[in-house]
Amino acid sequence: MDFTGLTLGLALGLLLGTIAIPLAGGASLRLGLAAGPLIAGLTLGRVGRTGRLTWHQPRSTILVLRQVGVALLFAGVGLKSGGAFVRGFADGGAWKMIAAGALVAAGTAVTCIAAGRLLRMPLSWLMGVMAGIDTNPAVLTFAEDRAKNELPALAYSTVFPVAMVLKVLIAQLMIVLLHH
């Protein structure tokens, strides 16, 4: 296992994420800390090797990094949002957000299942598609455990990059449009 490629790839992705794409009115879009490394990883993964430098990592390394990444993500979200979460219940506003989140999540899942069944996708593939649309590695882990095959991971890796980049860009566009 060689962390040189992983480290350089991450650095390139972080650099890519800082590049600003100018918009009208002085606003700009960036791929950011999520989509920049994702695009760099996809590109370098396709290249595979540059001279003696290998961009690929063993599956075991990827699985460990994914689990550590999910744990760090959830811990970070909890630390940042814990106080606001409790305050939201105290003032009653949290229930509306929970209901809205549940409706959006259920709507996405139902739409995905209906489209997948219409297109005759295998259930294990469809579970990976749902995890990818949600950009949720925890759902992928659940899908892989249940399916006991590689189809969820393959579907996830197909859908996740597009969903992640679109979510990053759409969120920034919403901010630009709603504040101007």
Residue 41 has pLDDT above 70, yes or no: yes
Residue 179 has pLDDT above 80, yes or no: no
Give pLDDT tens digits for 129-156: 999 998 888 888 889 999 989 899 999 9
* Residue percentage of the chain with pLDDT more than 90: 28
Q: In the numeric block, which tokens belong to residue 137?
A: 């590695």
Residue 119 has pLDDT above 80, yes or no: yes
Specify the pLDDT at position 74: 79
Give the pLDDT mean for 44-59.
87
